Amino acid sequence: MSLGIINQNENETTGMVSILTELKKYALNKEGEEYNVVLFGDGLTAHRVDAAKKLRAAAKVEQEKLPEFIPAPGFWHKRVNLTTIDMSKLIMAAEASSSPGTLPYTSNRYGHKKVTAKSKDCFNQTVRLYRFTTTAYVLAKACDLTRIEAIRVVFVR
């Protein structure tokens, strides 16, 4: 269901309070009781929702305190934040680019060259590199445990 455009400035705390007050009418069940609503967004939006709730924390009426809104980072934002932290440490390690088994080596050797430290700009490629590397490590460990020393299979893309 589209909620339409709420003509308020979310960059200002009072604007975010107005937005949450408007959204509050959609947080009611059939009996008119409020229920919790998780608001997904980026980290800045979560911070702004917290600031709006703190501004209203001293309200005398419980319904004006906006307790039903729970800010949370969206799944995509959360994944981008985590991969950005990882990539800035792992992919940019120049000394590791010639060491087999490292992300820089794997990235260059197996055609994942579009991956950079700014995973937000190449998120899908970063996820593909993680999956590729994880699969390779699992296979290597399986070979180690079963004492397979060489695999003579040709993989076709």
Q: What is the 3-state secondary structure (H, E, C) of 59-105?
A: CCCHHHHCCCEEEEECHHHHHHHHHHHHHHHHCCCHHHCCCCCCHHH
Ranges of each domain in the chain = 13-73, 96-145
- Taking 70 as the pLDDT cut, the residues of the chain under it are 1-2, 85-86, 88-89, 91-96, 153-157
Element (H, E) at 123: helix 123-145
pTM equals: 0.51
Tell me what pLDDT residue 153 has.
65
Question: Across the chain, what does the average pLDDT equal?
Answer: 80
94 token code pair: 């120049």
Which residue, 111, 122, 114, 126, is CA-closest to 157?
Answer: 111
Which residues are paired to 37 by β-bridges?
69
Helices (H) and strands (E) counted in the chain, each on its own, are 5, 2
Please, are residues 91 and 98 in contact by the beta-carbon 8 Å criterion?
no
